[in-house]
Amino acid sequence: MDITKMNILYLHTHDTGKMISAYGHKIPTPNYQRLCDDALLFQNAFSVAPTCSPSRAGLLTGVFPHQNGMLGLAQRGFSIKQDWHLANLLRENGYHTALCGVQHEIGYYTDHAMAIGTLGYIEDLSANHTQYSEENLVCWDKDNAKNLSQWLAGYNQEKPFFVSYGMHATHRKYPTEIAEGISIDNSQPPLNVPNNEVMRKDFAQYKTSAKLADDNVGKIIDALKRNNLYDKTIIVLTTDHGLAYPFAKCTLNDSGIGVLLSMRVPGSIYGKNSYDGLISHIDVIPTLCELIGIEKPEYLEGESFADLFAGKEYKGDTVVFGEINFHTSYEPVRAVRSRRYKYIRYFDKDYLKANYSNIDDSPVKEFYNKHGLEKVFKETECLYDLYYDTFEKNNLVKNPEYQQELEHMQRELHEFMVRTKDPLLEGPIAIRKKWKINKKETYSPSSKNTDDYESVGEKIKGDGKG
């Protein structure tokens, strides 16, 4: 089979982290499981940012947010270098490019029409979403899965295709009605979240959203198989970042940047279906370029892991990097992670409390707010030994036994910032008038009070969440 004629299908959700059954969690995702069992599952994959637009922009340009322009959320006035988008790259190399559902690289994440032409998508397969409330946008996901399945049945195959199928699931608001077969009592939340009735109900709603996403993945995979496209298509299955929980999404902990990633490349040769090396989202485009035989753009920061699909040894990345600039408020943070250690540096030393608006509104946030969220503080530097501290709670910066490792990780981060021309080296990032930015102490990201904003930005569709 000629790999250079392979189609590419990019399947992605919002805010899922690694919370699917393929990673050992009790989540009703059998279709995810089947696909991962028939692909290569990456155990240590990381996004470049724990916020929606910056993370997606990193994967889809192969460079970091401070390089591609997406310092914050697209609906809040931030913009990507459109020519670098994967859809544009593939269109220029003979692919028919189509978008179906969620994108978050231009406008609000339901603004699918805005992406046609600008980002490189030729065709829009998305259904109408305007009749759905936020908690019912999972119904839009289902409509889009139906549209894509029908499109696959009629595709003329004159050109290879690149299709991005994006879902609202598992973004908040979660579906109100809990799916049949999901028990609240048996929905214990992740181990770093207290187990009580509030958390269990909320997590049962997350599981419902994940189940609905799984149903859509099953429909699309079945459509590929029915139309003899499954073995002609590279499938990239992933999400943008961690769960929409306090101390996960919008943090550089593994709970924020650790992501599900599975790739199926037809005709692959590998000894097992699981890979332990470090992989960053910015490694995906170099890998795809090598697999389909197109020239890699010079600006790419990542490394190809295509050797894994040819049965060759590949050590993975020595370190991976993550960043926060803006979510709803300004919170400049950088991190470098090796297999064993994580180093995080907070650059805003004048505000070391929690940036409340950078935590999505939810019953979980309300619980924490009632129980001392205002007492949570950040340290300017953190070093964690992940072999002994998987939840990243024991800061070793002042431990004399770890000074050599601390200095090594500090150098790694500084050299990365210099090489990539990180704007934080010049000081704080100045807030532009066109950006919509909450004040750091603002509680809700969608506050209607203009006094809760550093800048109200331009009038852009969306309520400010991401």
pLDDT in tens, 257-290: 999 999 999 999 876 799 999 999 999 999 999 9
Q: If you count DSSP H runs as helices and E runs as strands, how many of each does the chain have, helices first? A: 10, 15
- Please classify residue 448 by burial: count the beta carbons closer than 10 Å to its beta carbon, then call 0-12 exposed, 13-18 middle and 19+ buried: exposed
Strands 261-264 and 40-46: antiparallel
Phi, psi for residue 88 in degrees, rounded to 5: -65, -45
Q: Classify 365 as helix, strand or coil.
A: helix
Which residues of the chain are in CATH 3.40.720.10 domains? 3-309
| C-alpha–C-alpha distance, residues 300 and 419, integer Å | 13
Q: Which residue has the tokens 């598992």?
A: 170
pLDDT digits (tens, 9 = 90+) for 46-86: 999 999 999 999 999 999 999 999 999 999 999 999 999 99
Q: Nearest-CA neighbor of 78 among 437, 446, 453, 463?
A: 437
pLDDT at 464: 52
Q: Tell me the CATH number of domain 320-453, given options 3.30.1120.10, 3.40.630.30, 3.20.20.70, 3.30.43.10.
A: 3.30.1120.10
Question: Which residue in 57, 52, 67 sits closest to 298, CA to CA?
Answer: 67
pTM for this predicted structure: 0.95
- Pair type for strands 7-13 and 233-239: parallel
Looking at the chain, the domain(s) classified CATH 3.30.1120.10 span 320-453
Phi and psi at 421, nearest 5°, equal: 55, 50
* CATH code, residues 3-309: 3.40.720.10
CB distance 435 to 463 below 8 Å: no
459: helix, strand or coil: coil
Positions of the chain with pLDDT lower than 50, given as ranges: 1-2, 460-462
Measured between alpha carbons, how far is 359 from 11 in angstroms, rounded to an integer? Answer: 25
Q: What distance in Å separates the CA atoms of residue 417 and residue 136, rounded to the nearest whole number? A: 41
The pLDDT of residue 411: 98
User: Each residue of 31-43: b (16+ CB within 10 Å) or e?
Assistant: bbbebbeebbbbe
pLDDT at 458: 74
> What is the pLDDT, as a whole number, of residue 461?
47
- The residues pairing with 46 across neighbouring beta strands, listed in sequence order, are 258, 280
φ/ψ of residue 297, rounded to 5: -60, 145
